[in-house]
Structure 1
């Protein structure tokens, strides 16, 4: 019998409290920590928590894994805070062990699949898992759905995998986590399972993120890329074509806003909140001007003219061009989608998942929406950021061969076709886009294929999470007008150089990407 289990809320909430306690109540906050780039002192919180872990890595090693940690403490004022964290940690550990015990014991082997809550319809995935269960009656398959927050998912995985948890087998990874988890030794090497064909039928950029030194550590599951949605009816009304450059987008938005004279109508909405979505948008603007965040040797390029121009153009949408509302600096994907779906925006940057929702029955903009490639500058084409999810196998899994059967099944052409047609997810297998039956049932596949093909990954490095944390803060300050773009980018580059200074030169290499 197939068991569909939601992850126990008490367990995940307790784990999250370890990370969020200091943000919730000021009385729980430790005294300010002073950062010194020259000296690293052991933090008693880190030392105590690591002593409970199976794998005892040094503080510097944790930094190299991309796990952020306090770097220096002054005195024993942290002791009460440390004891609080230890209490929370013990409760979380007991809770998780309880979850694990529920899956052990007599009976058929248990195969646990963890994944985030899907923004699209979930029924097609449930149907596929039921199909797998029928084909494997000797297996107790369990689906456990993690919170939708990517940060909470990452925290859960890091906490459990660092401790050598074996109570889940297959799990979905954000494309940016694969290098970090591979370097930490948490992913099974899947190369032998794939055989000589490897992942030739998959989008090359998605494969790059799962590959290191010719070895494959995850299989692309579904794909995302930044795209531009527009109100086709409004562009037709004003005799405008979909914009190819940022200047055309700004001009079209200004013309429509002036003509409509609707104070609730926004010209262009995007993801400006301080989180990973802002990094994706910023990278698209930087690349639209010919820039990059890091070169292939891992050297930061944020103070180069192209990067400054890109972030300056992003801020100008709000401050000078007045096509993006100030509240966009607090918007995520769903904020932007709800505004656009309500008929209150002309253009929107978002991911492909929004297409099916915008055209669903009851949508106010159904049949009036178009989608096209993100605009570039006069000298450079648009460069959408690659997103999506991979499936990996927990290195501590007790049933890796069985886990591979599930990964292979969920990433097969048939399964991806089902998730695309019934669930709205964009496949990672090229064959699905070329399937005449799939094209007939969902014409949007042909529409999205070239948009996804042109997507470029974020820097493929084990230290991406640390870089992203730095970028999120400084980019948020820049787009909100708190700091000039050149100042924010200069400070981000200085912080990134400090991070890189703590790592051996041979480990700073950024995997090359195909343009």
Structure 2
């Protein structure tokens, strides 16, 4: 009996047919594409929610992508709370890998982030002439050890809102000094005899907004909140308490923030309000009781001194360990450019971080109220520029609050604050 073969062979006709079928199938398959483009570089942009139509910024990012083939920008929106944003950044930037490429930072965070090594310098390739087009106070906030670690995206500054209709009715011009504001407030309240009408609203709650307001009073008297004792600063804080005691400001300002004051002023129930420029478009919106009845002016100062608004706003920075730092810096320069900041001002009402735009005729024609903000932005001064600012603010807030509610004298509050701040800064 013959052995059984280990491999069975197909009969020749079947083998030939199978070979032809395989060749036919192979001829129908597409050829492998060895020249296909690589996947796009995804640049992740972290920022807080912007007011207005979100499609405006999305559209600008799509235009950036068109100008940078192979790059895709993905927005990741953080909670609106600045405290939550700061916590998110502090946790993620400290890690070995960072899951984003560009971030929007509050002006008061840049020093802290730069000192910690969380963000990288962005001044390479930025010539001095272009650097000087940015708002000076914003650049000061973004500079750490002679290097620029962020670029202004949009800025803010404290302003005085006033009831233009009431001032015109009684022949008053917008006040330039705090005593003038007090005199006008008292006169209008006496003449109106309206129990629902309040005088001057401001943010006196124990939070960051109170530090901003106090700095405007103190600096507008030639004083400061840090360093050696100064009678000017104490007098300015005492004046804030006097406004409440004399009922030129209602007692609830000691618990009020921006929105609380905006709603009351917007209801037509106050003569003056200190707030940020964001409130303007809301107060002038269709259906607002004060639409067409209000004006903007620099925050007052004390006689013999200049107005010194407190600077606010947001910057753009690149993490030290950004996955795509070159593309991130391209996006940063694009968003901080004059053309894009102008469009954000036109379409969303954000204040440009470039001072030259406040003289742009087409922008002022479209947004005439920006003309009143030009001197405000140019005079604006940042909060103390130090990596330890957040710790300093946590010291100042309760001390300032104790003054405005009448629990401490200005002298006692500042002495206590200086003692604590000296420990933070390691002063002898």
Among 167, 171, 181, the residue aligned to 2:99:
167
Matches of 1:447 and 1:196, distance apart in 2: 28
Structure 1 unmatched runs, 5+: 1-105, 295-299, 506-515
Among 390, 406, 430, the residue aligned to 2:331:
406
Partner deviation per Cα, 1:317-339 (whole Å, 9 max, x = no partner): 111x2111111112111111111
Indicate the residue corresponding to 1:102 in structure 2: none
Shift of 1:359: 1.3
Among 203, 221, 228, the residue aligned to 1:289:
221
Matches of 1:257 and 1:314, distance apart in 2: 19
Shift of 1:130: 2.7
1:138 aligns with 2:70: yes
Indicate the residue corresponding to 2:187 in structure 1: 255
Among 233, 240, 259, the residue aligned to 1:314:
240
Indicate the residue corresponding to 1:5 in structure 2: none
Partner deviation per Cα, 1:454-510 (whole Å, 9 max, x = no partner): 111111111111111100111111111222222222211111122122x7x8xxxxx
Matches within 5 A, 1:86-97: none
Indicate the residue corresponding to 1:337 in structure 2: 262
TM-score (normalised: structure 2) = 0.87
Indicate the residue corresponding to 1:117 in structure 2: 49
1:184 aligns with 2:109: no
Report the secondary structure of 2:131's partner residue: coil
Report the secondary structure of 1:192's partner residue: coil
Matches of 1:428 and 1:247, distance apart in 2: 32
Report the secondary structure of 1:334's partner residue: helix
Residues 204 and 196 (structure 1 numbering): CA distance in 2 closer, same or farther, change over 3 Å?
Answer: closer
Indicate the residue corresponding to 2:291 in structure 1: 366
Report the secondary structure of 2:199's partner residue: strand
Residues 322 and 145 (structure 1 numbering): CA distance in 2 closer, same or farther, change over 3 Å?
Answer: same
Indicate the residue corresponding to 1:76 in structure 2: none
Shift of 1:412: 1.1
Bigger drift between 450-459 and 260-269 goes to 260-269
Among 445, 448, 451, the residue aligned to 2:370:
445
Indicate the residue corresponding to 1:220 in structure 2: 152
Structure showing greater relative contact order (alpha-carbon pairs closer than 8 Å, 6 or more residues apart): 2
Shift of 1:121: 4.8
TM-score (normalised: structure 1) = 0.73
Matches of 1:191 and 1:408, distance apart in 2: 10
Matches of 1:164 and 1:280, distance apart in 2: 35
Say if 1:341 and 1:364, in contact at 8 Å, map to a contact too: yes
Indicate the residue corresponding to 1:386 in structure 2: 311
Indicate the residue corresponding to 1:482 in structure 2: 407
Partner deviation per Cα, 1:152-178 (whole Å, 9 max, x = no partner): 111111111122341011111111111
Report the secondary structure of 1:293's partner residue: coil
Say if 1:218 and 1:390, in contact at 8 Å, map to a contact too: yes
Partner deviation per Cα, 1:163-220 (whole Å, 9 max, x = no partner): 2341011111111111111111111111214245451211112111111333211001
Indicate the residue corresponding to 1:101 in structure 2: none
Structure 2 unmatched runs, 5+: 1-37
Say if 2:225 and 2:414, in contact at 8 Å, map to a contact too: no
Residues 120 and 494 (structure 1 numbering): CA distance in 2 closer, same or farther, change over 3 Å?
Answer: farther
Matches of 1:273 and 1:110, distance apart in 2: 42
Indicate the residue corresponding to 2:166 in structure 1: 234
Say if 2:51 and 2:348, in contact at 8 Å, map to a contact too: no
